A and B are shown apart, each in its own frame.
Chain A
Amino acid sequence: MSDVILLLMTGLGLGALYFLIAGGLSLIYGLMGVLNFAHGSFLTVGAIAGWEISKLLGGDSWGVLLISMVVGALVGAVVATATELLLIRPLYLRHIEQALITVGLSLASVALFEGIWGVDPNYVSRPPWLIEVTKIAGALVPNDRFLLIGSAVLVLFGMLAFLRYTRFGLIIRAGVENRAMVQALGIDVRRAFTLVFAIGGAVAGFGGVLASQYFGYVSPHLGGNLLIFAFIVTIIGGLGSLVGAAIASVLVAVLQQFANFYLGGTGDLVIVVLLIVVLLTRPTGLLGKRAH
């Protein structure tokens, strides 16, 4: 029983990280048709920025962690916005070129991070409570899981509220369904593109700080390692659906943990099989409306 609880909580924690990347990826693809391979770099740059600021401020207090989270989100948003304005926008509606340029950016950014911060992991300081464990029904659950899960839930509801109650949210929801018609109502859909990139970048940068707390370090490959699973999550959840991404994040991460533990480390294989099954039986994903 304690194994099950520990695996479940670890899966949920990892799922939270997947969601923080996949949520942005899904909205970006849903609205713009852009497969953003640079999204992992937004996470990495957020993690590095958060780590740098925490070194600068020193200490392992909650206050410092909170500031790193804000800084990580801001840096993620700025980098993502710049990416959209400088690289994606000039290639408007040329989806293959857009995807290729994000592949290039992700490779170049990893090289850049390695050049500046080295290839080895840099360990982060954490509030003491996060390193402790909490006993739940006999299982010793590391406390960082609670932080990850709580944060992801807040981000999910924050994004849903934004989509539901703001005019930009309305434009984004409509644009995911029919971009041309939004334009034909006199709305500049490109501004919504930039905003979605900024939000996706902020959430990924925030996720970067959380990832560094979960793994205990930052490295140039932090985002890239998570990105592949985030892509799988995005496809299983249904491109363009935030709730779909959230459900699929939990599904993928929990399944991965259980398969790794009970099926001899076959977590990644099981996920790929799940992806294949979903694509064969429900090509638009769990909550996806249509393919672009």
Chain B
Amino acid sequence: MSLLSVKSMSATIAGQLVVEDVSFEIPETGITALLGRNGVGKTSTLRGLIGLIDRKGEISFGGKDISGMPTNKIIQLGIGYVPEDREVFASLSVQENLKLAARKGLDSRWDFIEKLFPDIFGRLHQRAGTLSGGQQQMVSLARALVNENQLLLVDEPTKGLAPKIVQETAAALQLAAEKTPMLLVEQNLTVVKQLAEDAIVLEGGRVVFQGKAKELLSDEKLTAKYLGVGGGDE
């Protein structure tokens, strides 16, 4: 059985069609990578899933139809969302960012977060806007991980980060995915290779590949065709 099932989802932003007709399933464990060239609608697919943009189609999560639900209700079912560009609340402190996100108080997952992101724990009272990009990414991830979730939606977590931080982020994602399945949008194919078991490729607002990540990434022709690269780094 799949955790998340999407059937012919389309999505629009201000009347403009950004996701045409997407169908896929997310298994109950592990990391599934959502891949594709720039502008094929990966971020819009994620945003459509949780109702941040207008969408149509059948979307069911844990057997529940969520296609007509408002965003906050969907999230409360147990989804952690880490948006592209982090979107931390810049004027709030790190602690306030986490407090806001914690649906059942901070205590239960505090130790787990501290283990994953020791760096931001020394900065709990600092305004999130004054953190470095990498630290902001940690806050954004921590915001999703303070809750006991059924699924994580993570959008380009390593974008614009220094190589060392990319590795730290990847390690944190791997650890998080041991407990919670994840749909991961990621441009860095090294990270994808390292983390993802399954892969979905979008092209022109549609799914053109769904299968094992290894199968896709070990086939240079496929990677070149769908992702416009010859494998390896970006």
Please give, as numbers and ranges, the residues of chain B lying within 8 Å of A185 by CB-CB distance: 72, 75, 81, 100-101, 143
A4 at the interface (CB under 8 A from B): no
Known: A186-B147, A289-B91. 15 other contacts (CB 8 A): A167-B99, A173-B92, A173-B96, A174-B89, A174-B100, A178-B87, A181-B83, A182-B100, A183-B52, A183-B71, A184-B71, A185-B72, A185-B75, A185-B81, A189-B72
**Shortest distance in angstroms between A189's beta carbon and chain B's nearest beta carbon?**
7
Please give, as numbers and ranges, the residues of chain A lying within 8 Å of B75 by CB-CB distance: 183-186
CA distance A174 to B102 in the complex (A): 14
CA distance A178 to B129 in the complex (A): 13
B72 contacts A171, CB within 8 Å? no
Query: Per-position contact with B for A188-217: 1 when CB-CB < 8 Å, else 0?
Result: 110000000000000000000000000000
- Most chain A CB atoms below 10 A, which of B87, B89, B90, B103: B89
CA distance A167 to B100 in the complex (A): 8
Q: Which of B90, B92, B103 contacts A170 (CB 8 A)?
A: B92
Please give, as numbers and ranges, the residues of chain B lying within 8 Å of A177 by CB-CB distance: 89-92
Which residues of B pack against A, CB within 8 Å? 50, 52, 70-72, 75-76, 81, 83, 87, 89-92, 96, 99-101, 103, 143, 147
A180 at the interface (CB under 8 A from B): yes
A184 contacts B52, CB within 8 Å? yes
B89 contacts A178, CB within 8 Å? yes
CA distance A186 to B81 in the complex (A): 10
B100 contacts A188, CB within 8 Å? no
A187 contacts B100, CB within 8 Å? yes
Please give, as numbers and ranges, the residues of chain A lying within 8 Å of B100 by CB-CB distance: 170-171, 174, 182, 185, 187
Please give, as numbers and ranges, the residues of chain B lying within 8 Å of A173 by CB-CB distance: 89, 91-92, 96
Q: Majority SS of interface residues in chain A? A: helix
**Shortest distance in angstroms between A175's beta carbon and chain B's nearest beta carbon?**
9
Query: Per-position contact with B for A155-181: 1 when CB-CB < 8 Å, else 0?
Result: 000000000000100110110011011
With contact pairs A184-B50, A187-B72, A187-B100 given, residues A174 and B87 touching in the complex (Cβ less than 8 Å): no
A184 contacts B83, CB within 8 Å? yes
**Shortest distance in angstroms between A119's beta carbon and chain B's nearest beta carbon?**
45
Q: B71 — nearest CB in chain A belongs to which residue?
A: A183
Q: A191 — nearest CB in chain B belongs to which residue?
A: B72
Q: B146 — nearest CB in chain A belongs to which residue?
A: A185
- Most chain A CB atoms below 10 A, which of B50, B52, B70, B101: B101
**Shortest distance in angstroms between B141's beta carbon and chain A's nearest beta carbon?**
13
**Shortest distance in angstroms between A32's beta carbon and chain B's nearest beta carbon?**
16
